[in-house]
Amino acid sequence: MSVNGRGREQGLRAESEKTVLLESMELAEGGSRGFRLPAEAGGAEGFAVRRGAAIFAYVNRCPHTGAPLDWSPDQFLNADGSYIICAMHGALFEIESGRCIHGPCVNQLLEPLSVEVEEGRLLLRSRGVSFGERD
């Protein structure tokens, strides 16, 4: 389901302390998906990347200029899927830590989001450290 023409899935709602970011977290190994944070969490765009059983999520904002990272809707990774890449100037970020290892913002960090997958949905716990998948 596309909401804003960038492949963002809607259906945000609070469930107890958590917020649903994506109703269907169909994310293949090395895949990435964008979403919009709810207004109460800042309303910014975010994205999630699967690495094995773990899901890592960040605010979609490059620490270099604040530009969005994706080079196409839901495309946040470099060609071989080993790093998050910024479309603007090609900075590379470690998927697990969000730390820039190449480019104009070396050692700066993406802002992590604390997320989990529950019953196939991506849930936001809070802005902060990312969590792995739960069943």
- Least spacing, CB of residue 18 vs ligand FES, in Å: 30
- Least spacing, CB of residue 100 vs ligand FES, in Å: 8
Residue number with CB closer to ligand FES (102 or 134) = 102
CA distances from 131 to 115, 127, 128 (A): 6, 11, 10
Residue number with CB closer to ligand FES (46 or 116) = 46
- Please say whether the dihedral angle defined by the alpha carbons of residues 130, 13, 86 and 83, taken in this order, is positive or negative: positive
- Least spacing, CB of residue 49 vs ligand FES, in Å: 17
CA distances from 48 to 8, 60, 66, 104, 127 (A): 12, 9, 18, 23, 13
- Least spacing, CB of residue 124 vs ligand FES, in Å: 24
Residues at the contact surface with ligand FES, assessed by CB under 6 A: 62, 64-65, 67, 86, 88-89, 91, 103-105
109 Cβ neighbours under 8 A, 6+ residues apart: 63, 97, 98, 99, 100
Residue number with CB closer to ligand FES (86 or 123) = 86
